Amino acid sequence: MPAVLRQLAAERATGALLRDRGTLYLVKGRVVGAESPAAPAPEHLFADADAPGRGEAEICRLAALFDAAYFALDAAGGPARFHPGLTMSDPSGAVRPIGIETVARETRRRRRLLHEVWPCPEVDTAPVVPIPMEKLPEGAAAAVTPRRRAVLDLADGVRTPADIARELGRLAFHTLVDVRRLAAAGHVETPRTTPAAPPVAPPGPAGGGARPAAPYAAGLGTVAGIAGITAGSGSGDADIALLRRLRDALEAHL
């Protein structure tokens, strides 16, 4: 988390913190919104769902906030610039204030998850290149879930994961998880800039042979949903229960 963000929280600042990959909006030192070119706007998410009620709409905005905040807090996101008093272009996208530690903790959790699935961050921003069917092992195509099949169908060597997320109306982070799982399973290419996996060590003498080097942790981990999103929010029990239901619903689609 940028040090300036901690300072702004301590000063209870109001305005926008701009970075290369996104923007966080603060009110009295707490996060009320986030935007990123890599993450679909709230109105583009869940487009096929029925019109949400007040609680569900809040949940959609909250999910979009954590989605955009993940990119805004990217470790390689460049310098941070604070604009006092600057508010969201669409105030309806704001949520009830959330502590910066909650947002930072969720961002760290997501980074860990992606690393467990397939430790190749280049996959997140490169065009998604599908592996030709004839090069896949027998039965590999049938092993792809319908959710990931929708992602794979849009992989054309031009669209990035962010492009695919927008076309599908899905959260960008969830699409990153799908793309990394597809890469781990060999359905899409991993960019060549990624170092090769360590070679397997040759066997040693009986009883004392060297163990093979561990391969990439392909397919490990599960999406735990939006963790800790209620921390410090001041919500009542009913709101907390609603947030947990959304977390469970999001998990069910991954």
Shortest CA distance to 179 belongs to which of 194, 199, 159?
159
- Asked if residue 96 has pLDDT above 80, the reply is yes
pLDDT digits (tens, 9 = 90+) for 41-76: 887 775 555 556 667 778 888 999 999 999 999 987
Whether the Cβ atoms of residue 65 and residue 34 lie closer than 8 Å to each other:
yes
Q: What is the pLDDT of residue 89?
A: 77
| Interatomic CA distance for residues 97 and 27, integer angstroms | 7
Q: What is the pLDDT of residue 225?
A: 38
pTM, two decimal places: 0.73
- Residue 38: which residues within 8 A CB-CB, separation 6 or more? 21, 22, 68, 71, 162, 172
pLDDT digits (tens, 9 = 90+) for 146-169: 999 999 999 999 999 999 999 999
Q: What is the pLDDT of residue 235?
A: 41
**Out of 98-102, 169-173, 201-205, which region has the weakest mean confidence (pLDDT)?**
201-205
All structural domains of the chain with their residue ranges: 3-108+233-252, 118-184
Residue 249 CA to its chain's centroid (Å): 16
Q: Is the dihedral of CA 112, 116, 119, 124 positive or negative?
A: negative
Shortest CA distance to 108 belongs to which of 82, 75, 131?
75
Highest-scoring range by mean pLDDT, 74-78, 173-177, 211-215, 220-224: 173-177
* DSSP β-bridge partners for residue 30: 27
Average predicted confidence (pLDDT) for the chain: 80
